[in-house]
Amino acid sequence: MTAVDLFNTLEDLKEEEFKKFKWHLHQDILEGYQSIKVAMLENAERQDTVDVMVNTYQLQGALKVTKKVLELINRNDLVQSLPHTSSGPEGPTGPRRNDPAEDSEKRLKEVRTEFVKRVSNPVLNQLLDKLLERDVITDEEMQSVRAKVGSEKAREVIDTVRGKGSEASLDLIAALCEVDPVLSRTLGLI
């Protein structure tokens, strides 16, 4: 069972079914599996959705969640086509991403240097708008960041958000995934 199998399964969903599938991922559908933030899937295509699920739940956990959601949207035919879950370790018990909020600060610290090198000015401006909308930063903080140039601007964004804790860091990751999925993938955030 690979992420490609999950992708192929999602390819079999009609567009309306896929929207319902993503909606269910925002809900608490299985005990022990946290929901995925709306912003992480808002504009996600099928491949992005698989990436987010595997990063959040690991492969076996993503398989289990996929089966549950397919049952909820009455696509039992697709459930039958997926392999049975193994008795091996599953998503929330595995070492990666137990709770995205818990390790989001650490993840931002790990990608800080690459983020500063690679993020473009237009993306930074979009991130600032998203962070202001989500009340992660204040108007004053946004103005302070906008006064900076180049890599200093990127450093100020990531450091300001990291200083506000895990939830704020998770909001920055979600906003970056939404605004620039390619950079997010390059940084290993999805």
C-alpha span between 151 and 140 (Å, rounded): 19
* Domain 3-93 identical in fold to domain 100-186: yes
C-alpha span between 130 and 28 (Å, rounded): 25
DSSP type of residue 1? -
Rounded to whole angstroms, the maximal C-alpha distance in the chain is 56
63 and 129 in contact (C-beta within 8 Å)?
Answer: no
The number of angstroms, rounded, from the C-alpha of 135 to the middle of its chain's C-alpha atoms is 19
Quick one: pLDDT at residue 85?
54
Closest alpha carbon to 153 in 181, 105, 120:
120
Q: Residue 89 — pLDDT band, cuts 50, 70, 90?
A: very low
Map out the domains of the chain as residue ranges.
Answer: 3-93, 100-186
Question: What's the token pair of residue 74?
Answer: 């009455």
The whole-model pTM stands at: 0.53
The CATH architecture to which 100-186 belongs is Orthogonal Bundle (1.10)
CATH 3.40.50.170 fits 3-93, yes or no: no
Closest alpha carbon to 100 in 42, 2, 175, 171:
171
158 and 114 in contact (C-beta within 8 Å)?
Answer: no
Name, in order, each residue with C-beta under 8 angstroms of 38's C-beta and a sequence gap of 6 or more.
26
Q: What angle do CA 106, 113, 117 make, to 5 degrees?
A: 140
Give the chain's mean pLDDT: 84
Percent of the chain clearing pLDDT 70 (strictly above)? 89
Quick one: pLDDT at residue 82?
80
Q: What is the pLDDT of residues 51-79, one digit of tens each?
A: 888 888 888 888 899 999 999 999 999 88
